[in-house]
Amino acid sequence: MGRKGRGGSAKAKLPSICFYCMREFQDETTLVAHQQARHFRCVECNRKLRTLSAMRHHLDGVHKVQLKRVPNAKEGHDDPNINCVGMDGAPAWFMHQLMAEHGDPAAKEALAAVAGAGAAAAAGVPVGVAVVDPVAAAVPGAAGAAPGAAALAPPGPGAAAAAPGGAPAGLPGAHGGMPVEVATAAAVAGPSGIRFVFTDEAMSPEEKRAMLPRYAKAGIAVRRDGLTA
Amino acid sequence: MAAASAAGAGSRPGDVALAHPPKDGVTAVAFAPKDGSDGLLVSSWDSTLSLHTGSTGARLVSHAHAAPVLDCCWQTHTAALTASLDRGVRVVDFGSATSTATVLGYHGAGVRCVRWSQSHSCAVSAGWDGTVRVWDPRASKQVAELGLPSKAFGMDVCVDGVSSGAADAVVVACEGRRLVTLDLRDTSSAAEDREAALKHQLRCVAAMPGKPAGAAAWGNSGAPGVAIGSIEGRVSLEHLSPAVTGAASATPGFAFKCHRRDAGGDAGPVAHPVNAIAFNRRHGTFATGGGDGTVVLWDGGAKKRLGKPSAAFPTSVSALAFSHDSSLLAVAVSYAFEAGDIEHPPDAVVVRRLDDADIRPRAKKASA
């Protein structure tokens, strides 16, 4: 079982995560061994190479093959030009996302702002915010940090242009209704892509059940915020 | 005697299904805290608290409340505490011919959890009004109240968890993934209030049994703590911080994935909520029950699963309880509304007899 940063401290050490397949490891050494076995292994002759670029050279020189995708890597993480050994060489947007998820509050807000601004410009609903955990924390930060976020290096070229224009229009409009909508509708897939049967972060299944008419009695109807009517 | 088809799918021979299970969802089950006793409390959305004999499945008493009962636990071996959607915390006494209920008091909204602390002789409850309250049953009144950062979703009492055994600690899991720890000696403020290691809504909390449980100290992990389940098919074992326990240094916890099933087709795996966690006192190992209808046994100290997950029951497992001598495991097979209001199999409670081999810890591997 992988070991995550401790829940207790806000300054938890960044966990060792393989950029290519997002798996977590106890330490850098195990992570590198995993990368060599899973991602830097020649598909033709099974030889383990030390780095991704070494494997590309090997494939090119020995087997006369061009590497298109990193073997056993996830979508979006399989660019053969990104030579990542351990956590060295992982792209900035990935490191930033990691830091946001593991305790840096300023990074968390900024990431939410950029993701929210980019998606808001594109789709009108800040779906991207759901990728970073609890919505409630991200929303106030997103609205405030959006103007500053445009100065950060955003993940995609489109977001940079869209952020200054899109942010004022997209975020304030959606702000009021966001906590409820994003929590239920947008959390279709967790960060790792696995689907959840129950997705609401703000209400427990028991509260939702208690809202059904058959359990409503005078004085004990449950509102969305859990207080009695 | 026991119904022949004990809850259908998922049952093993020898499982006893309660003859008169509640007519609606089961919220909690609890065995009497007395060795040799198999009295089983069952609380339900049908507004009843009922008492059954675990070994035969016969129902002894059923006490009606005015509203669904969301949690129950034993106070003495003839009286129980209930937490109800009508905001009330009650003591239900089974000692006399007819069961009687006394109201201890009310929260501001539905009461989600209730527990009894033997060493402090008080009841503790936590609810959707964002408060945790302490009650004195002899005076039938509230003794203390503490505001939580948000609604409470789960709670348990860590017996002897504070200051190397001087007092009990109450751990409450709240909305927003917060964990609040309360020292029962001083309820004016929280002893600790922090984020849990889990990334999604917390669902249930179970305290590791303490030193009195023979060699199985603290769930085999060496320090007081709790197991927390989330809606994401993940459980985290976390320890109370040294500031609370009086230990020299913090013991690291860990989290693991569970109750995730392949839904078939190319849709990939689906994560089910972990609805219940229960520790047994004999070995300190624990069981988890999930929305996928399986019960899995784990050894927290060796970080291993014990055996295979159980064959899936017809619907979610909503509650679990070990008997006091750890020979029986009560499994509430009852749809917990993880996927909204849909048709579901009838609610049932199955009592399974466990062999010692099922719950015995595995030896730790010498090398990681």
* ipTM score for this prediction: 0.90
Q: Which of A4, A10, A210 sits opposite B255 (nearest CB)?
A: A4
CB pair distance less than 8 Å for A134 and B177: yes
pLDDT, mean of residues A61-67:
88
User: Is-contact A184 A178, C-beta < 8 A?
Assistant: no
Mean pLDDT throughout B43-68? 93
pLDDT surpasses 60 at B168? yes
What pLDDT, on a 0 to 100 scale, did the predictor assign at position A133? 37
Q: Quick one: pLDDT at residue A100?
A: 75
Q: State the burial class of residue B367 (Cβ atoms within 10 Å of its Cβ: 0-12, 13-18, 19+).
A: exposed
More confident residue, B339 or A189: B339
* Torsion of the alpha carbons at B198, B200, B205 and B209, rounded to the nearest 10: -20
Residue of A nearest to B235 (CA): A1
Contact residues, chain B, for A227 at CB < 8 Å = 108-109, 128-129
The pLDDT of B173-177, averaged and rounded, is 94
Of the listed ranges A111-115, B162-166, B273-277, the least confidently predicted one is A111-115
Least confident of A80-89, B17-26, B290-299: A80-89
Instruction: Answer for the pair B230, B200: CB distance below 8 angstroms, yes or no.
Output: yes
- Separation in Å, CA of B270 to nearest CA in chain A: 5
Q: Do B271 and A197 touch (CB under 8 A)?
A: yes
Across the interface, do B231 and A199 touch by the CB < 8 Å criterion?
yes
pLDDT of residue B296: 95
Q: Which range has the top average pLDDT, A89-93, A118-122, B107-111, B264-268?
A: B107-111
Handedness of CA A102, A105, A111, A117 (dihedral sign): positive
B250-278 mean pLDDT: 86
Instruction: Kindly report the nearest CA distance between residue B88 and chain A, in angstroms.
Output: 11
Inter-chain residue contact B151 with A226, CB threshold 8 Å: yes
Contact B70 A212 (CB under 8 A): no
What is residue B364's predicted lDDT score, i.e. its pLDDT? Answer: 57
A6 close to B253: Cβ distance less than 8 angstroms: yes
Whole-angstrom CA distances from A80 to A96, B271, B308 are 21, 31, 39
- Tell if the CB–CB gap between A6 and B110 is shorter than 8 Å: no
Domain boundaries, chain B: 5-356
Higher pLDDT, A38 or A109: A38
Q: What is the arithmetic mean of pLDDT over B89-100? A: 89
Q: Give chain B's mean pLDDT.
A: 88
Highest-scoring range by mean pLDDT, A18-27, A165-174, B85-94, B351-360: B85-94
Name the residue facing A227 among B129, B199, B271 (closest C-beta). B129
Contact criterion met (CB below 8 Å) for B89 and B111: yes
Residue A106: the pLDDT is 53
3-class SS at B161? strand
The arithmetic mean of pLDDT across residues A83-98, rounded, is: 84
| Alpha carbon distances (Å) from B102 to A9, B75, B80 | 43, 13, 11
Residue by residue, DSSP assigns chain A as ---PPPSS-TTPPPPEE-TTT--EESSHHHHHHHHHHHTSB-TTT--B-SSHHHHHHHHHHHH-----S-TT--TTS--TT---BTTBT--HHHHHHHHHHTT-HHHHHHHHHHHHHHHHHHHSS-GGGGGSS-HHHHHHHHHHHHHHHTTS--SSHHHHHHHHHHHHHHHHHHHTTHHHHIIIIITTB-TTS-EES---SSS-HHHHHHTSGGG--TT-PBPTTS-B-
- The reported pLDDT for the residue numbered A225 is 52
Phi-psi region of B140 (alpha: psi -120 to 50; beta: other; left: phi over 0): left
pTM over 0.80: no
Pick the closest to residue B288 from B263, B262, B256, B314 (CA basis).
Answer: B256
pLDDT higher for A76 or B236? Answer: B236
Measured between beta carbons, the chain B residues lying within 8 angstroms of A3 are 252, 254
What pLDDT is attached to residue B112?
96
pLDDT digits (tens, 9 = 90+) for A15-30: 888 889 888 888 888 8
Say which residue, A226 or A169, is predicted with more confidence. A226
CB contact under 8 Å between A228 and B87, yes or no, is: yes
Inter-chain Cβ pairs, chain A and chain B, closer than 8 A: 143
pLDDT at B314: 93
Identity of the residue numbered B94: F
Q: Which of A44-53, A111-120, B125-134, B352-361 has the lowest mean pLDDT?
A: A111-120
Is there a contact between A136 and B176 if contact means CB atoms under 8 Å apart?
yes
Tell me what pLDDT residue A195 has: 87
As a whole number, mean pLDDT of residues B247-272 equals 83
State pLDDT tens for residues B335-365. Answer: 999 988 899 999 999 999 998 888 888 765 5
* pLDDT (mean) for B159-176: 87
| pLDDT mean over A100-115 | 55
Give the separation between CA A162 and CA A164, rounded to whole angstroms.
6
User: Residue B160 in 3-state DSSP?
Assistant: strand
CATH 1.10.150.120 fits B5-356, yes or no: no
Q: Where is pLDDT greater, at B166 or B141?
A: B141
Report, as an integer, the average pLDDT of B63-69. Answer: 93
Measured between beta carbons, which residues in chain A are less than 8 angstroms from residue B272? 197-198
pLDDT-derived band at B247, boundaries 50, 70, 90: confident
Q: Which helix (H) or strand (E) holds B70?
A: strand B69-76
- Is residue A10 pLDDT above 80, yes or no? no
pLDDT at A170 over 80: no
Cβ–Cβ gap A210/B85 under 8 Å: yes
Asked if residue B66 has pLDDT above 70, the reply is yes
Residue B117 is predicted with a pLDDT of 94
Check A207 against B66: CB less than 8 A apart: no
User: Distance between CA A46 and CA A48 in Å, rounded?
Assistant: 6
Higher pLDDT, A55 or A100: A55
Asked if A193 reaches chain B (Cβ–Cβ under 8 Å), the answer is yes
Query: What's the mean pLDDT when you consider all of chain A?
Result: 64
Percent of chain B with pLDDT over 90: 63
What pLDDT, on a 0 to 100 scale, did the predictor assign at position B175? 93
pLDDT at A203 over 70: yes
**B-interface mutation test, from A30, A182, A196, most B Cβ less than 10 A away:** A196
pLDDT of residue B211: 59
Instruction: Identify residue B337 by its one-letter amino acid code.
Output: F
pLDDT tens digits for B12-40? 888 999 999 999 999 999 999 988 888 99
B103 pLDDT exceeds 50? yes
Q: Is residue B56 a contact partner of residue B13, using CB atoms and an 8 Å limit?
A: no
Q: Closest Cα of chain A to B14: distance in Å?
A: 32
* Residue A45 banded pLDDT, cuts 50, 70, 90: confident
